[in-house]
Amino acid sequence: MQVRADLHIHTVLSPCADLEMTPANIVGKAKEANLQIIGITDHNSTKNAKLVKKLAEKEGIFVLTGAEVTTKEEVHCLVFFEHESQLDEFQEFLEENITKIPNPDGHFGYQPVVDAEENILELIPYYLTSALKKGISEVQKYVSQLNGIFIPAHVDRSLNGLFSHLGFIPKTLLFDAMGITGRTTEKHVRKHYSLEDRISLLYNSDAHFLDQIGTAFSIFSIEKICFNEIKKALNQQDNRFVEIL
């Protein structure tokens, strides 16, 4: 089966996201955009992801729960986990390792954890886009220990991209795919960064506003919609794969 996926969506929890990016609104827009898989990737926090997953299940949309991590080098990476216990453990890792710049009055943007009725349950008091104290390889190894998915985000971008900040792929770095912006082409990225075909590339919207959801997406060829099949497709295993059109 072929399914449409946008694996880089921020909720209202991200300080740079619009206040309309509530879990319910995201699910509604994803359905409108004919997305069957979405990834919830707030900056350095997983705290709204579970609710999006719960609401999306009612609409037949599969949610990869995770975060967009800012590493010590200020490289952005998407991480996803299959089970809530893994997600909770990674949330603890984030809270222990993020550089905590105070944001008590929302100076850098409001960061609310919300419920299904959009009531605010918690306001995160520190700036979520700050870098972690762990480097990219350390973050990747921790994600691997939790059997997660690790994807360097928008690698072609000058801001917070793998190549703009590091200039190369560390030899020991293990990753499932790379994200690229919808403003470029697969052919250009592969040629410019000398990326082999064995590295899967993804289009994602990096949505911070509702009308951005699904504006860039990837097509997964998988047997059924589940975490393991998605991971197989990213790694081009057992005739599963992902395409950007």
Is residue 183 over pLDDT 90?
A: no
pLDDT of the residue at 245: 78
Taking alpha carbons only, the member of 76, 16, 84 closest to residue 227 is 84
pLDDT of the residue at 133: 98
Dihedral pair phi/psi, residue 183, rounded to 5°: -90, 0
pLDDT digits (tens, 9 = 90+) for 109-160: 999 999 999 999 999 999 999 999 999 999 999 999 999 999 999 999 989 9
Query: Packing angle between helix 136-145 and helix 84-97, nearest 10 degrees?
Result: 150
The domain in which residue 66 lies consists of 2-243
Taking alpha carbons only, the member of 114, 124, 122 closest to residue 23 is 114
pLDDT of the residue at 222: 99
Q: What percent of the chain has pLDDT over 70?
A: 100
DSSP bridge pairs for 63: 38
State how many domains the chain has: 1
pTM of the predicted model over 0.85 = yes
Burial of residue 168, with CB atoms counted within 10 A of its CB: 0-12 exposed, 13-18 middle, 19 or more buried = exposed
